[in-house]
Every structure is written in C-alpha cells, then in structure tokens.
Structure 1
Amino acid sequence: MSCWDRIWDKFCEESREKLVDDSCWAEVEAKSYALFMGYLSMAVKGLGFLVLTWTTVVLLGGFIDDLQNNDFWCLTFITLVQTAGIFDVLLTEKLSYIGDAFTSIAYVECTRKSDNIWRTVLSRVHTLVLAIFLCPLVAVYMGGLVVSTMLSVWHLIQQDYHADGVRNLKKALLVLYSLVLLQGVTFCYKLMNSWAKGSIVNAVVHERGFDKDCRDGISDYIRETMIGCEKDPSSVKGRNLITYAVGLMESKSPDDYISGVRILDAFAKKLEAAVKEVEGVDDPHQYTRENILKKHLIMSAASPDIVQKLLQTLGRISIYDRETRGHAARVVASIAHDIHLGKYPKAIGYISSLLDTYEEYSILQPYRADWLYETYEQDFKQISLPVNQDDIVEQGDYDVGFAKTYKKLLEVESDHDLLQAYKRLVEQGFRILRKLAANNDNCRVMFGTPYLLPKIMAPVTSDLLHHRNEDGRMKHIDNAACYSIVQGSMKVIAQLTAATGQIGTKLRDEISCSMELITAMRTILECKECNEMLQKIAIWILTHLHQDENSSPGHEGTQEFITMLVDIMTHDKKYKEARRVVAAKALVALSSETGSARIIMESNNNLIHSLTRLIVEKRRCSQMAAEILENICIHCNGDVQSLKTLKEAMPIVVPKLLEEILFWPTEDI
C-alpha cells in the first residue's frame, strides 16, 4: 500500500460518523498519555533488541577473543539484562513473578514446623537456594537497565578498551555503550513520566465525577491501554472506559467481571443523578450518549452471556457479594427498556429477589446463601420469611413481612449502612420492573409469575406512610426511605395498569381486586401531608382501574373517586395547580365513557359553571375543561336529569363561551 493510500484511509476513518462521539471524554483524552508511554516502551524494547543483537553477533561473535576481562563481563551483564528486559519493559510480569517467589519462600518457611526432620531439612535447603538465586535475579530484573546505563557511562568516560591492533573494536564498543546509554536515558525518562499516572487517574475521576471506588478500575484501564499501545498502537482506537468495562465483563474471571460492573455502575449512577437533576448538570446529553453506547455494547456483545450474568448477579443465591449485587442492579436498571424477559426464562425470578425482605437480605452475603440452603434448610426457613412461593398464599403475608422490613428503616439505631444498601437495592428493583413493564410482552411474563404482583404492591398495601392513632385517625409518617420505596412501588403499578390489550385488562382486574391497595391510595389522596408526586401517581392508577368498561359505572368506589377528582379540579384555592391538572387529565379520560360521564355530571350541581369558569380564565386546565364539557354533552344527552341540567346551564354558559371565542384575537398576547 502506497503512502497516499494510507493517508486516504486515515482521512476516511476520521470522517466516518461514529455511533457516539467520545473524543471529549476524559479517559479518551488520557489515551494520549498511554500512547506516549507505549511509544517510549517500544523505543526501550527496540533499543534492547538492537543492543542484544550487537553484543551477541558483533562483539561476542567477532571480537570475543580480543575483549578485555572487564569489557567481557560488562557485555555479559548487559546481554543478560537485555534478555530479561526486552520481554517486559513495563515490569508488570516481573513484579508478579517476584511476588510469587517471595510467597513461595514464606510457604516453605511455614512447612518448617513439621515434625518430619527430613522435610524440615529439605525446606531449609529449598529456602536457602531460593534466597541465593532470587536476590540477584531481583537486582538484575528490577535495576538491570539502570546499572547497565551506569556501566556504559563509566566505559564511555574511561575508554580503556585496549583495542590497539584490533580493527573496529573500539568503534564497536563505542556504538554499543552509546546504544545502552540511549536506552537507559529513554527508560529513565519513561520511568519519570510514569509517576504522572496517579495524577492522570485522579484527574479522570474528578472530571467524570466518579467515586473513589472507581480509581482502581480507571488505573487498570490506563495500564492496559499502555500495554496495548506497546504491542499495537492502533489498538487504542475506539477504546474508552465503557468498551473496556464491557470487555472485562466478557472475561471468564470473576474479578474482571466485578471490575467491569463497578465501572458501568459509575456511569449508571451519573445518568440516574442527571435524570433527577437536569438543571444542575452541565451537559445532560453526554450521559445519554454514554448510556446509548453502554446499552449497545451490552445488548449486541459477541458473548450473549453478559445480560444473563448481570441478571444472575441479582439473584439471592449468587457468587457475588451485596456490593456487586447493588452495582449490577443499577446497570440492569439503565438497560432494562431493551430487555425482553422471554429471552431469559429465569430473569424475572432474579429481579423479583431484589424485593426480598430486609431480614433475608441482612442474614448473610448472597454467595453464602447456597451453602445455607443446602446445609441448614429447615433452620433457615424458620428464621427468615418464606422464600418458596408455595409457602405464601395471601397478600397479607407480604404486607406483614414488608411492614416489618420497612419499619427497620425508621430505626436510627439499626445498621445504617446495611439499611441504606438494602433501600437502594429495592429502589433499583422497582426501577427495573417499571421499565420492563413498558413492554406488553414483559407484562405478560410478569402477570404469569406467581405472587409477583402482591410483592410489588406490598409497600403500598402495608401503608408505610401512615399510622393509625388510638383515636382512629390516620397520622402521616415523614420518612424519606419509606417514601422512595412506596413511590417506586406505585410507579410500577401505574405502568402495569397502563398496559394495553388483553393483558392490560387482566392486570387491571387483578390489581383492582386488592382492596388494601385501593384504600391505601385513597388515603394518600386524602392526606394533606403526603407528597404531591405520590398523589399524582395515585390518581393515574385509580383512573386506569376505573376506566375499563366492566369497572367504570358500577365498580365500588368509582363514584367517590370521581367526586374527589371533580373537587380537586374545581377548587383552585384548595389544591395546587399541578395537582388540579392531573385530576383534569384523569377526568378527560374517564368522561369518554358514558357511565363515568354521568357520574361526573351528577357529582357537583355547579359543575357546568365551574368548567365554564376554567375555560374563560384560560388557565392550564382550560383545554381539558373544554374536553370534559364536550364529553358530558355527548354522553349525557340520553339521561333525562342530566339533559335537564344541561339545558338550564347552557343559556348562561354559551354566551360566555361565544364572547370568549369572538373576542379572542383582540386580546394582548
């Protein structure tokens, strides 16, 4: 290939559009340091090959009989150093092997305590031999290039080669010692620059906003990039922390997998924070691009086991600890929209285990659970809540178990770190289920999973946010931990009730059968201290449940719910506008059914006038009020009493609406 062809190929590569532009990412910019260090390593290794060739072929082969004694031993030492150094310039393999050697010495020392005298003697001999050979090897391997450089400087200064009468010997030695000196200077320069690695790692951690736990992973990323640059500089193309982490997860090594999950969790955590606080993030789209790349690499990886490994990590019986389980849960939550449960038959079981009780979570690490199941199966079932689905028969069993669990969150004296880790794990479990429920096929799998719905509804049905006093009144409990878990549960329920088709109808029928759930959500709506977001979600859940034809007109509580919505929408001084808008949207959906439209009409004698006032005032509810009024006129004209009410209100309402329509363009905008 000609030079022009290479230039053209390079131009085409640079102009080719990429899935995600990572050129401005901190770790990608740090690749220039790794590339520079890799080139220095290549230079040291190349000079080492040249020196080794020069000493063995030119000097030892051609001038071996003419060399002085000191030159001979100096060249021999340089040859040995080059033989060891050219294969591992970065010293990683040397340090590993030397550490293993010292470990073997320590092991041999431990065997000296044996009662067998011959074994004791052999161990001492073995220790002595290892110590005699190991110390010189350590000195040669670790400091050989520095010593060779010092010897070369000394010989270049002295120049006592005694090469009189030997043609070209002096020139050959000068070239050799100059090459060794150049190699030593390059090696020392590389060694000095290697001290900057820690600062670069800290800079990447700081710029990325990662926790200190990711520092080791980023350090390994830079080190692996340096090693890759030494072997092939083009290998760094397209390399970043996400591609590196996914590559680690494809490895068969559990340690590599844990490191990869920890790095991806750091990205998922930043994405989660950016979603919660978009205004406080400089570039929220950056986290979206990162998530796109992460999702693409995981879902289209050469090894299809990555998603399966992530899901297995979530299980209550896993080879990984609680920390890794939490990291994997956040990673799965960030890609859950693209997961199809039909491809992973056991996935829903792994995910549902994230909603287990605190008692089971706190008993032991996941990787010990398998041993406990096998060894003390009966005792384990007695000290923990039921783990077999056959042992659970009613919603009340879940409510009692989860009530005990979440009351732990109110105890300040409890293990705070363990409780917080458990809370985060449950929150991620609800996030995963909510995203999975956006797919109707996943909803079908979730509906077919025994006892999953009661487990999802347990935080709401156990009514963690309210406590009944002795006088029978409900008291609001202000606890952030309980609130976040209840909100996660309600979001999953809202997503399930929004499912379409036959599976959506089945889910709504199943959920509407839980009177504890309906009662708890009405309590949230009636509570003046409950969070506004929870009240909005409760409105949407109840709206979906009452919207089906078989539940709208005659379903118990439908009339009370609609009356409550009308009261919220029409009383602008009593409720905030955001909550009134949600109630108005719910009434628009409900008014599309004849039965619900009549209930809306009968809920308030002044409803028509209230809707007219909202339309005229041109607030956020104006358009929705007009849609409700239209639906009422369409569906209530067959009812005598409703028709009479409409006829009485229209002479007053219509002129106001016509006046608003006719004079709309004349108003200042």
Structure 2
Amino acid sequence: MDDGRSPACDRNDIRLQISETCSGNTTMFEPRGASITMRESSSVDFVSPMKPVVRAPEKKLTLFALRLAVLEKAATGLGTLGFIWATVVLLGGFAITLDKTDFWFITIILLIEGTRIFSRSHELEWQHQATWSIADAGLNSFRALRTRSQFLVRKIEATFKSVLALGKQSRGREIRGNSNANDRGMSEQSRMPTRQWSTPDVPLLPYAQWVFLSKNISKLLYWLQLISATACVVLSLMKLIKHNYGNIAKGDMDKRNRRAALSIFYGLALAEALLFLIEKAYWEWKVIFRKLLEKVNIECELGPLGMISTKRFFYDAYSRCVNGSIFDGLKMDMISFAMELLDSSFPDEQLIGVRILRQFSMNQRFSNDTLEKIGVNLAVIERLVEMLNWKDPQEEEIRLSAAEILSKLAGKKQNSLRVAGIPGAMESISSLLHNGRSSNVSADEISEKKIIHDRANYSFWTFNHLGLVILKKLARDHDNCGKIGNTRGLLPKIIDFTHAEERLLKDEHVAQSQIQTVKRSLQVVKMLASTTGTTGKFLRNEIAEIVFTISNIRDVLRYGDKHPSLQKLGIEILTSLALDEDATESIGGTGSVLKELFRIFFNQEMGEIHNRTRIAAGEALAMLALDSKSNCNRILKLEVQEKLVTTLEIPLLRVNAARILRNLCVYSGPEGFDKLRGVAAAASTVIRAIKSEDQKLQEVMIGLAAQILKFTTSHEAAITFERAGTTQAELAATLVQILKKHKNPPTKTPQIRRFVIEMAIWMMREKTENVHYFEELGMGKELETVLETTAELESFNIFSGTVGLSRHRMTMHSLAEIALGLLGRW
C-alpha cells in the first residue's frame, strides 16, 4: 500500500511551501514492502551520486586571521627581545655610562612598548564585547574616524528625542538592526530589560558615560597602539639616523660596546613597530578597502543581521591564533562555531548561533554539510529540542529558528530517529501546535485582535506549520509513528488542525497559510493511519476514536471542491482507517460520508486535476464495502448501482467501480439480491474486459464476472456472451492461459488465480459442455500446479504493507479441490 512515506514525496522546504502529496500506483489490494520493491526494481542503480564540493567562505577569514597572527607574534617576539635587551644589556649594564639622551629615549620606548603590549593583550577582549552591536562591531578602523562627527550628531539627536519621549512612556523598547520585510517578515528587536547588564553598554565611570562605554574601549586601545607604534618608529629612526650615542673616548673600556648595543636595540624597536604597523595596514586593507568581512558574509548568505556573526567568528579565530598556536584558528568553521554559541547561557550568543545554523540549514549549498554535523552531535540536537519549549516572547526568534533547523534535520531518516529518541522530544514538538480557534469570539473581536497582534498571529501560524512539518518527516519512520501516537494529547492536536469550515474552503481570498495548515495536518494523519503492523492498528484505532476525525474529513469532502489535494488526502485517510473493522462501521455510519464519496467518484465535471481524487474515492468506497454488510446496504440505499454499471465503461474509474460492485454482490446479503439484479446488465461489458492485456483490469473483471453471472439464468447468460461477442469456450481458453501465465502468485495481482478458479467453477456448474472444454485445455494440470504453489498471499483481500488483512472465507486449496472435483479429478 502507498503509505506516503517515499523520500521522493518529501520535497517541501522550510518556507512552508507544501507540495502535492506523492501518489503511486499501488493500492491496499496488493502487498507492498521494502523487499518487494527491491525485487521488482533490481535493475535500479544504487550508487549514490557524488556530492558537489562546496568551498567554505569562512576559510578566507581563518586564513586572514592566521596571517595576522604571524605578523602579531613576530612583532611581539621582537618586542620581547628588545625589552630583554634593553633591561639586561643597556639599562642593566650601561645605565650609568649611557648618554642622557639615549637613557631617556630607551626609557620612553620601553614605556611606549609596554603600553602597546598591554593594550594589545586586552584589545581582543574588548573587540569581542563590541561585536554585540550591528552598528558598531569594534573594527576600530579609519572608517570610525571618518564617521565620528555623524555619530555624535545622531547621539545628540537620539538623546534629545529620548528626553521628549520620557514624559509619554515610562519604559520603551530600543529598536536595533535592520527591519527587513524579506527576512521572514519580522523586524529585529532588542530584548526587554533583564536582570543583567548588556556588555556593550556598561558605563565604566559614572560620568562621561558615552566615552567610557565598554564598546568604545576597544577603539581607545586601538588608537593607543597606533600612536605608540608610530612614536616608537619616530624615536628609533631619529637615533639610528643621527647615530648620536655620545662621545666615546679611546681606551674607555666601559663604553666600547655601547654603540653596537644601542644600534641593536633601536633596530629591534624599529622592526617591532614596523611589523605592527604592517599588520594594522594589512588589517585595514583587507577589512576596510577590500571589505573581506562583508564579502564573506555575502557568500555565506547570512544577510545584514549576519554581520555580527561574521565579525564574531573572525575575532574568535584571530584570538585562537594569537593566544595559542597560529594554526588553532584554521580548525574553526562557521558551523562548529555556531554550535558552541548555541550552548551558551547568554541569549545574544544563542541568537547568533541559532541564526547561523538556521541560515546554513536553509541554504542549498551548505545544507547537507550543516545537517550532517548537527546530526552527529546529540548535545546540539537536544539543545534545539529544548528551545522548542521556550515560549517567552523575547526568545521567539530563537524558538522559531530552532524549529526550522529541526524541520530540515528530520528530513534524513537517521537524524529523524535521533530527534525522536531524545526524551521529551515529542512533547516539545507538540508545544509548537496551538490552535487558537474559539467559537465564542465575535468577528469584531477577531478583527481587533488581528490588528493588535498581527505579528504574534503570523508567528502563531508559522509555529503550527513547522510543528506539522517536523511531525510529517518523523512519521516516515515506523517507530516514530508509535511515539507520536503515544504522546499524550498530540493526536487530538493534529486532528484539530484538520478542521475546515465551509467559509474557509470556499472563500477565494482566504489566507493561504490556513489552507496549508489543514493540508499539512491531513498529510500527517494520513501517514499515521497508513502505518503497518500492530503500531498501525493501534494508531488507526486511536485516530478513529477521536470524535472529530471523520466529521472533519466529511467537511473537507463536502466543501473542498476548490482544493482537490485536500479531498484526496481526506479520502486516503478514510481508506487507511477502513482497514479497521470498527472504523469502517464508524465511517459508514457518519452522515453523508458515503454520499460525498460517490459524488466525487461520479463527478464528470471535474477537471484533469481531480482525476486522482476520483480514483482515490473509488478505492475508499471499495474498502468501505469490503466485508461490511451494513455499509453495502447503505450503498444500495443510495441507489447508485446504475451509475456504477455505467462507470464500468470509463477507463479511469472502471477498476474501482468493478471492485465496489463485486463487494456489493458478495457482502450485501439476501436483502440486497433484488436491488442487484439490474447489475447483470453489465455482464457483457465485464466479459469483454476480461480479454484485456491489463492484468489489473483482468483481475477485477474476472472477480466481478464470477459474482454478476450468479444473478443470471442460463438463457440470460447465453445472451450475455452473445452480446460480448465471444463464447464460453473462448473464455475458458482465456482463463487457462491466465493460469499458465501465473505459475506462482503474482504480487501485483494477488487474487487473479482465485478469481479465475471461481469463474471456472461457475462455468462448469452452469454448462456441462464447459467441463469438456476445460479438460481439453489442460485445466486439471494447471489446478494441480496451483495446489503446489499456493501461498498466504492469495488468502487475503487487502494488505497493510506485507501484512494480509480480511482473510477470504474459502481457502485456495478448497477452491482448487472443488474445481478438480467438477473435472472429475478429485
């Protein structure tokens, strides 16, 4: 059977664009399983295509960080050597004999270098803190100098506005970032005041707060280093060019090495300062003029808000190269960096991490690599699942991004097993599903709430969609279906989303998100209802016991003509539920369900897009009539027999029409005999179709013929064969050929041999001459072959995967023995 879980069906992306449900050619009237699929598709090439190599854009940043670290460490090494040389050789050995000018030059240079080294050692720490603001990420470049006047004007203007607004409201919310309508339609907002300081805005001194905000300290340290290095270059060059180290008298043993020692020191100081300035020049060239960070951000497709993430990543990589091995930064990548931030206890870091992972998971170039790395890290998956429970409005974006990542992650089977295996995962996913529908709310109240809470309503629908997306992808695995069914309160929530009123389904201007929600929920219910084995039986029972399930689907069938995909999903759910005997009775006993199914099945005005829906309706009706006397009588009361007979001429629908008619003939009981006599008029059409080369059509028509001809007399049967343009001898030959063709039970047409034998039994009982025809054609030998090759496959009417359901009342052995007895061989 088609359980809707083929990977090919799973082509929806995280942006909630719901694709049409995949529909195969298999039905519940034939077995379906992995082994059968492989056996029938042995020629398929299972070699997976090579994944395209995707170059990581952030490698440019780690390489840049390494080169800067080489210059930084070289400068620091020379500075350390110069410091040691000055303290040990010059000031320690020649302090008394040094010229006064040299003494002060050396002292000033050492103080300058000490200041620069101190500034450098703490600069990265302040730069990290400065990356919390998009507007000022601590690059401390000449760009900041150029824009300082504009910045001051904006600060004064903002301060003036805030003073005016103070009388209007006691507490406001600072809007930051970039309101981008294309970025999920949500503006970037700052968090509400918390119990902790935001590090970029910490005032270090009680007065002159702007100057001493922590986010401006890195600028101060940066310019202090530049001034120190420049001063060091100037002082060193002055001494090296003038070479005025004081007068050294001949024979003065205490001063004979002073000139060389001073030259070495000033040379080291000059080299160290020049290396540092080269590093800063390289920094400015790559960052400001070549816009390296902006380019990497664009290549990563992180958007305007991603600049914070890109800068933070770069500073982390640079810090590792400087503080550890120069190669430590090369081991970093954007994905592992984001996963580390995800585990942070600071909301801002969590937001940066989840934004990166969401964007990379959504990006077609980076998605596979990202999902693989997340999938093997259970701690990250657990963190993402935990975030689904965060209902604080301030954490809305984190929660939404976590849901989007998980919806992509669950697309791979192995990852879906890991997600579902986390304790409490289903409960967390269930928290995304919240239907705020209330029948007691007036239209005016709804309109007012929509205006006031428009953004909240958008997120509300988005969370619902993502929850259903995750459940749909998880439901592709059998074990996960059981977990969904066992999660308290989850099934009723899913069923609740299948509710669709007449206004919703008929209104052409209805929000597409509402239709998508109904569609997604129906897809999930369909997958759960079509689960095989004991788990499927349990789920079908649980779904059918929810009192709203069938009535919700009935509304979709009744009012959903403009949405055939919804009708098809609803019909497929009814077909799967019909595997359960109690559910079959509940469906038939629910008002108008059978009537609506027949309306769809017979509706010739529907276009090409509705054909699959009509086929699905026919299969559902055949399932509901199977082995159900009460449903057969309900169908007969609808007086659709003549239409069913007419439908046997329509190629698209005749297979299911034949199944419905056969079930009516078999299971309606004595009270339906009179109403079915008119069906015999279709016998000639059925007999002609038996000669078709379509094996599926052959199977159902032979089965129907064996039942319809029971309602005819010998004279009527003779007229029927005459109208069909064939003779009983020719039909006997056709039947024997079918048995010869199928030496073993076929999986595509598992009941064809049974129906052939039933038809042969009727023919031999109807006319003695037919016994001789079958003897001459070798029917006896074929029946003996059937006895030797019978299998459980032929003992059932329908199948749930590879599990047979609704066992035939008579075994194949018994049928074959009856036929052999009529031939005189038993």
TM-score by length of 2: 0.56
Deviation at 1:151, TM superposition (A): 1.9
Q: Give, in whole Å, the separation in 1 of the partners of 2:480 and 2:368.
A: 24
Q: Note the C-alpha offset of 1:565.
A: 5.5
Alpha-carbon shift at residue 220 of structure 1 (Å):
0.6
Matches within 5 A, 1:586-665: 587=618, 591=622, 595=626, 605=642, 607=644, 610=647, 613-614=650-651, 628=656, 638=666, 641=676, 644=680, 647-654=683-690, 657=693
Is the Cα contact below 8 Å between 2:600 and 2:617 reproduced in 1? Answer: no
Q: What SS is found at the alignment partner of 2:588?
A: coil
Classify 1:574/1:338 alpha carbon distance in 2 versus 1 (closer, same or farther; 3 Å).
Answer: closer
CA distance in 2 between counterparts of 1:102 and 1:593 reads: 69
Against the structure 1 CA distance between its residues 497 and 138, is the aligned structure 2 distance closer, same or farther, given a 3 Å change threshold?
A: closer
Cα deviation, residue 155, structure 1:
2.4
Counterpart AA for 2:107: T
Q: Distance in 1 between matches of 2:276 and 2:645?
A: 87
Assess if the C-alpha contact under 8 Å between 1:547 and 1:589 holds in 2.
no
> Aligned partners of 2:104 and 2:555: how far apart in 1?
91
Deviation at 1:24, TM superposition (A): 0.8
Q: Report the CA distance between 1:339 and its aligned residue.
A: 5.1
Which of 165, 169, 178 is the aligned partner of 2:258?
169
Q: Which has the larger radius of gyration?
A: 2
Q: 1:566 to 1:60 in 2, by over 3 A?
A: farther
Q: In structure 1, what is the equivalent of residue 300 of structure 2? A: 208
Q: Is the contact made by 2:293 and 2:311 (CA closer than 8 Å) also made in structure 1?
A: yes
Structure 1 residues 563-584: Cα deviation after superposition (integer angstroms, max 9, x where no partner): 755665676652334x423553
Q: Greater helix share, 1 or 2?
A: 1
CA distance in 2, matches of 1:595, 1:536: 20
| CA deviation vs aligned residue, 1:373-430 (integer Å, no higher than 9, x gap) | xxxxxxxxxxxxxxxxxxxxxxxxx7548x8899958976334333323322222222
Which residue among 481, 491, 503 is the counterpart of 1:466?
A: 503
2:339 aligned to which of 227, 234, 246? 246
- Superposed CA offset, 1:305-347 (max 9, x none): x333333322256696222222222223233453557754433
Verify: 1:315 aligned to 2:396, yes or no. no
Aligned to 1:79: 110
Q: Give matches, 1:92-131, under 5 Å.
A: 92-93=124-125, 106-107=205-206
Query: Which residue, 426, 438, 462 being the options, matches 2:464?
Result: 426
Segments of 5+ residues of structure 2 without an aligned counterpart are 1-49, 131-137, 139-198, 210-217, 250-254, 668-672, 699-733, 735-826
Contact 2:236/2:266 (<8 A) preserved = yes
1:436 maps to: 474
CA distance in 1, matches of 2:261, 2:648: 102
Whole-Å Cα distance in 1 between the matches of residues 320 and 109 of structure 2? 27
Q: Counterpart in 1 of 2:239?
A: 155
Contact 1:44 1:183 in 2 (8 A): yes
**1-structure distance, mates of 2:444, 2:388:** 20
5 Å-filtered alignment, 1:517-532, equals: 517-527=549-559, 530-532=562-564
User: Are the structure 2 counterparts of residues 85 and 187 from structure 1 closer, same or farther at C-alpha, using a change threshold of 3 Å?
Assistant: same
Quickly say closer, same or farther: Cα 1:141–1:105, change in 2 above 3 A: same
The alignment status of 1:351 with 2:429, answered yes or no, reads yes
User: TM-score, structure 1 length as denominator?
Assistant: 0.68
The answer to whether the 8 A contact 2:478-2:531 is kept is yes
Q: One-letter code of the match for 1:224?
A: D
1:315 touches 1:353 (CA, 8 Å); kept in 2?
A: yes
Output the CA distance in 2 between the equivalents of 1:213 and 1:456. 35
Question: Structure 1 residues 243, 554: CA separation in 2 closer, same or farther (over 3 Å shift)?
Answer: closer
Distance 1:567 1:136 in 2: 79
The answer for the alignment partner of 1:580 in structure 2 is 611
Cα 1:105–1:210 shift into 2, 3 Å: closer
Shift in Å, 1:214? 2.0
- State how far apart, in whole Å, the 2-side matches of 1:658 and 1:307 are: 50
Q: What is the SS of the residue equivalent to 2:431?
A: helix
Q: Structure 1: state its 5+ residue gaps.
A: 1-18, 111-133, 272-283, 359-397, 469-473, 615-620, 663-669
Matched letter for residue 312 of structure 2: D
The question of 1:66 aligning with 2:146 is answered no
Q: Distance in 2 between matches of 1:102 and 1:72?
A: 43
Residue-by-residue CA offset, 1:517-540 (whole Å, 9 max, x unaligned): 433333333436643443333233
**Within 2, Cα distance between the matches of 1:410 and 1:628?**
50
CA RMSD of the aligned region, Å?
A: 4.5
Counterparts in 2 of 1:192 and 1:517: CA distance versus 1, 3 Å: farther
Paired residues, what number? 546
Output the CA distance in 1 between the equivalents of 2:261 and 2:332: 44
Secondary structure at 2:471's aligned position in 1?
helix
Deviation per residue, 1:122-175 (Å, 9 max, x gap): xxxxxxxxxxxx999997556322321222223233322226343343333333
Q: Given that residues 116 and 225 in structure 2 are in contact (C-alpha distance below 8 angstroms), is that contact kept between their aligned partners in structure 1?
A: yes
Alignment-mate amino acid for residue 294 of structure 1:
I
Distance 1:158 1:587, change over 3 A: farther
Task: Report matched runs for 1:368-387 at 5 Å.
Answer: none
Q: Is the aligned partner of 1:228 residue 2:320? A: yes
Q: Which segment is superposed worse, 86-95 or 26-35?
A: 86-95
Go from structure 1 to structure 2 and tell me whether the alpha carbon gap of 1:101 and 1:221 turns closer, same or farther (over 3 Å shift).
Answer: closer
Q: 1:141 to 1:30 in 2, by over 3 A?
A: closer
Give the Cα separation in 1 of the matches to 2:396 and 2:568: 34
2:644 aligned with 1:545 = no
Secondary structure of 2:498's partner?
Answer: helix
Q: In the alignment, residue 648 of structure 1 is paired with which amino acid?
A: S
Q: Higher RCO, 1 or 2 (CA under 8 Å, sep at least 6)?
A: 2
1:59-110 deviation digits (Å, cap 9, x = unpaired) = 2233323322232233223333444545736822366899999967523899
Distance change in 2, residues 1:332/1:286 (3 Å): closer
- TM-aligned CA deviation for residue 242 of structure 1: 0.9
